[in-house]
Amino acid sequence: MKMFQLKLLFLGLLFMGTVNAQENISISMAERSLATPIISIANIIVTILILAALPGLVLPMIEYFKLALKKSVYKIVFLRHGESIWNKENRFTGWVDVGLSERGVWEASEAGKILKNEGYVFDLAHTSVLKRAADTTAIVLEQMGLRNIETKFAWELNERHYGGLQGLNKAEMARKYGEEQVRIWRRSFSVRPPEMDETDYRKQNDLEIFKAVPIYQMPRTESLADTCARAVGYWQKEIAPAIKGGKNVLISAHGNSLRAIIKHLDNIGDKEISELNIPTGAPLVYELDDDLKPIKHYYLGDQKEIARKIAAVKNQYKT
């Protein structure tokens, strides 16, 4: 459609040039009197052609300039926890409460330094009840000199529950079930992995860190859709009002709980979300307008290293 409108505009301008050239030719009075009605008709045609082309071209231009002139009102920072022990071992982790690896502690420390050097200050931090995220948050805030700010711990920001896959090596599962099946378990929107067994489920329910989870919401496994329901619900109930209230917010959580919120913010499709991979320990800044709609986003830090880590996340299940 836009190509057709461009052609109309081009024809109109070409016709206008022809008409103007005709008007500039020296002709006799008699010839001019005969030519005037033709030139008038030609001008009408030019006007029609240009007007026909303008609506489809002007409106996108207006939207483009509106977006270009739009200024961010809020900035928030998303941070996936530093590398965990099971990240290092390439295991499905989910709700298993494993700690940070040595590299993970270093990543969290570096993230805090980067944020401080870039001039970021937070009034409020939201994290999960799992220690790899909670410890990352504490390390970052310590590096920034902000260890006394309010920190909220929410099970809704926990990692996606991987059910019976938790503790298993991703590459080994790919060799056993095929890369495509593991990719579906990891990255599809609505497919749930196999459920955890009853013994593990009961042990999970007895853990102190999960006491705030209503029994009817205690998962045996989860899809990304399930994770979206709880994480986006928490965003809408707790985080968004704090941002609108003027708080500078850090959200330090997990790959899939962050993917869930980002899917909501960027309105990413159910199929397209499979391509979003978030690296450990890399601050991700979102600039939002007054309605909390994204204007732009970007990672802070070494961009080449961030790209390498994103690729590594994507290929974790490869044999």
How many Å apart are CA 254 and CA 227, to the nearest integer?
11
- The residue ranges of every structural domain in the chain are 2-69, 74-314
pLDDT at 129: 98
Band of pLDDT at residue 187, cut at 50, 70 and 90: confident
pTM of this prediction? 0.77
Q: Does domain 74-314 have CATH number 3.20.20.70?
A: no
Can 126 be counted among the known catalytic residues? no
Q: Which of 159, 161, 222, 254 is catalytic?
A: 159
Average pLDDT over all residues of the chain: 86
Taking 70 as the threshold, does the pLDDT of residue 266 lie above it? Answer: yes
Mean pLDDT of 272-280: 93
pLDDT category, 314, cuts 50, 70, 90? confident
297 is known as an active-site residue: no
Give the type of residue at 296. K
Section 234-258 average pLDDT: 97
Cβ count within 10 A of residue 281? 27
Sign of CA dihedral 74, 250, 234, 182: positive
Q: pLDDT tens across 119-175, in order?
A: 999 999 999 999 999 999 999 999 999 999 999 999 999 999 999 999 999 999 999
Query: What mean pLDDT is predicted for residues 169-186?
Result: 92
Give the CA distances from residue 171 to residues 93, 162, 218, 316, in Å, rounded to whole numbers and listed in that order.
14, 15, 28, 7
**How many Cβ atoms sit within 10 Å of the Cβ of residue 17?**
11
Q: Which amino acid is at 157?
A: L
Q: Where are the alpha helices (DSSP H) in the chain?
A: 2-24, 29-69, 85-88, 102-117, 131-144, 170-177, 179-187, 198-206, 224-234, 240-244, 255-266, 303-314
70: Cβ contacts below 8 Å, ≥ 6 apart:
289, 295
Return the pLDDT at 240.
Answer: 97
Q: Give the DSSP letter of residue 169.
A: B
Q: What is the pLDDT of residues 73-103, one digit of tens each?
A: 899 999 999 999 999 999 999 999 999 999 9
In which band, very low, low, confident or very high, does the pLDDT at 25 lie, cut at 50, 70 and 90?
very low
Average pLDDT over residues 267-286: 95
Q: How far is CA 188 from CA 229, 271, 275, 312, in A?
A: 15, 7, 10, 18
Checking if the pLDDT of 58 tops 80, the result is no
Of 59-73, 131-145, 186-200, the poorest mean pLDDT is in 59-73
Least confident of 65-74, 193-202, 233-242, 254-263: 65-74
Q: What is the DSSP letter of 166?
A: T
In angstroms, the CA 265 to CA 288 distance is 9
pLDDT of residue 315: 79
Q: How high is the pLDDT of residue 61?
A: 56
